[in-house]
Amino acid sequence: MDLPLLWFLIIAFFWMGYLVLEGFDFGVGMLMRPLSKGDTDRRLIINTIGPVWDGNEVWLIVAGAATFAAFPEWYATMFSGFYLPLLAILAALIIRGVAFEYRGKINDDAWRARWDWAITIGSWVPAVLWGVAFANFVRGVRLDADHQMVSGFFELLSPFALLGGATTALLFALHGAIFISLKTDGEMRERAGRTAAVLAVPTLVVAGAFAVWAQVAHSAHTWTWVPVGVAAVALVAVVFATRARREGWAFTLSALTIAAVVVFIFGSLYPNVLPAINDPANSLTISNASSTDYTLTIMTWVAACLTPLILAYQGWTYWVFRKRLTAGAIPAHIGLPRRDPAKDPASS
């Protein structure tokens, strides 16, 4: 196997890890307000991902860094052409991360409500826009002879791309609902389980429509029907698993669905990394977008040494925090009291 192809597969693996792990983080944030009846419920939901959400985002950093080093022209074209949606995703991720840390700093309902909305919006925006972005990767964009993207912003919002956004939003919401039911007990577990069962069928329909459209219209390979089939079977099984309240099986199957979608996306792209719909000769390919063999060789040795350590550490983290949470275990607020400027002489 040549090194550019190897790194194409490694980057696909990094994206798979990111979307499977961060996918339920997004889903938890998306469902935090609908599933909660009060602040204790919202804190319980946040605590399900509290020890792991920042570690899950490392996969995005690694995927971006690997793309920058292994395929610099792909990175440059992608980040310049998709500047606005990627900026929106970055801003949402930053605001969401800050909200997790700041919502409990002050013991005030209005303060917490504002940060709760930041978590909700910061989860919905990337959940939708990642689907829009990947749908455009599969469909292709307009590139000139210098591999500069010349597609307009609204061209990125085609019906196919919007269906991709709806697909990832539903997949992540379903994944998050299952994760909450897996990590909690009592009333929250039942509430999340019912929500997962409700979301499973529309997710199956929307994701199925996107996969068939993508395969028929935009994939040049017949073998990519295999991940489509795997995702379909896994989603059908999720429908039955959520109704039977088999949270462990349901979570495994929803993770398998997202992994199969990533295999389909990168399989459909191959041998391109960014197809040009206006002129196939302008497409960015694994060959013409990659770094030198010397660079890729060094990267391969670094990845071979560090990736097992990262996997071991993250696996250990999930093992340590594997137990279910209950609302009764949520302690009282310890945030600072909100200062009233009208009554506080120090503020005048």
What is the DSSP secondary-structure string of 108-159?
Answer: -HHHHHHHHHHHHHHHHHHHHHHHHHHHHHHH-B-B-TTS-B---GGGGG-H
Closest by CA to 71, choosing from 7, 142, 138, 147, is 7
pLDDT of residue 329: 81
Domain assignment present for 301:
yes
Domain assignment present for 348:
no
Q: What residues contact 117, with CB distance under 8 A and at least 6 apart? A: none
Omega before 227 cis (within 30°)? no
Closest by CA to 117, choosing from 135, 95, 94, 134, is 95
Indicate if the alpha-carbon torsion angle 239, 170, 259, 315 is positive or negative. Answer: negative
Closest by CA to 56, choosing from 202, 139, 176, is 176
Domain with 235 in it: 3-322
Q: What residues contact 13, with CB distance under 8 A and at least 6 apart? A: none
For residue 25, the domain's CATH number is 1.20.1630.10
User: What are the beta bridge partners of residue 184?
Assistant: 325
Give the Cα separation of 286 and 269 in Å (integer). 10
Closest by CA to 192, choosing from 205, 175, 206, is 175
Domain assignment present for 182:
yes
Distances (CA, A) of 268 to 16, 135, 201, 212, 263: 15, 11, 26, 12, 8
Domain assignment present for 347:
no
Domain assignment present for 339:
no
Give the total number of structural domains in the chain: 1
pLDDT of residue 72: 94
Closest by CA to 140, choosing from 80, 78, 75, 190, is 78
pLDDT of residue 344: 59
> Tens-of-pLDDT digits for all 348 residues of the chain?
699 999 999 999 999 999 999 999 999 999 999 999 999 999 999 999 999 998 999 999 999 999 999 999 999 999 888 999 999 999 999 999 999 999 888 888 888 999 999 999 999 999 999 999 999 999 999 999 888 888 888 888 999 999 999 999 999 999 999 999 999 999 999 999 999 999 999 999 999 999 999 999 998 899 999 999 999 999 999 999 999 999 999 999 999 999 999 999 999 999 999 999 988 898 999 999 999 999 999 999 999 998 899 899 999 999 999 899 988 888 877 767 766 656 655 554
DSSP-assigned letters across all residues of 248-279 = HHHHHHHHHHHHHHHHHHHHHHTTEEE-BSS-
Give φ, ψ of 259 to 5 degrees: -60, -40
Domain assignment present for 170:
yes
DSSP for residue 336: E
pLDDT of residue 114: 93
pLDDT of residue 151: 83
Residues 195-199: contacts with CB within 8 Å, 24+ apart? 195/31, 195/34, 195/35, 196/242, 196/250, 197/239, 197/242, 197/243, 199/170, 199/173, 199/174
Domain assignment present for 338:
no
Give the Cα separation of 326 and 323 in Å (integer). 10
DSSP for residue 287: T
Q: Count Cβ atoms below 10 Å from residue 255 Cβ, excluding itself.
A: 20
DSSP for residue 290: -
Domain assignment present for 212:
yes
Alpha-helix residue ranges (DSSP H) falling in 36-82: 39-49, 53-70, 72-81
Torsion angle of the four alpha carbons 135, 138, 139, 140, in this order, in degrees rounded to the nearest 10: 110
